[in-house]
Amino acid sequence: MAEIKCEMTGVIDQVLITVGATVEVGTEIVVIESMKSLITIKSLEAGEVEEIKVSQGDFIEEGETLALLK
């Protein structure tokens, strides 16, 4: 099982994936608002989304898990 981790601290603006979706390396996962900018976080792994660990409006820290892939 692979984890998609957050690369920065911020607030989740949008979740762009759904459970059961297939993602490839480079697939856009979430949009984060950080320092008044919107940043798109992309997957560094390929697989099927098993669980999404965040929701819109959540505050997250760098290194936190965004989603689990199988």
The pTM is what? 0.88
Strand partners, 37: 34
Neighbouring residues of 3: CB distance < 8 A, sequence distance ≥ 6 = 65, 67, 68, 69
User: DSSP of 1-18, one letter per residue?
Assistant: -EEEE-SS-EEEEEE---
Question: Total domain count for the chain?
Answer: 1
Using CB atoms within 10 A of its CB, is residue 20 exposed (0-12), middle (13-18) or buried (19+)?
Answer: exposed
Asked whether residue 43 is assigned to any structural domain, the reply reads: yes
By residue range, what is the domain housing residue 29? 2-50
CATH code for the domain in which residue 41 is found = 2.40.50.100
Res. 38 pLDDT band, cuts 50 70 90: very high
Q: pLDDT digits over 41-69, tens only?
A: 999 999 999 999 999 999 999 999 999 99
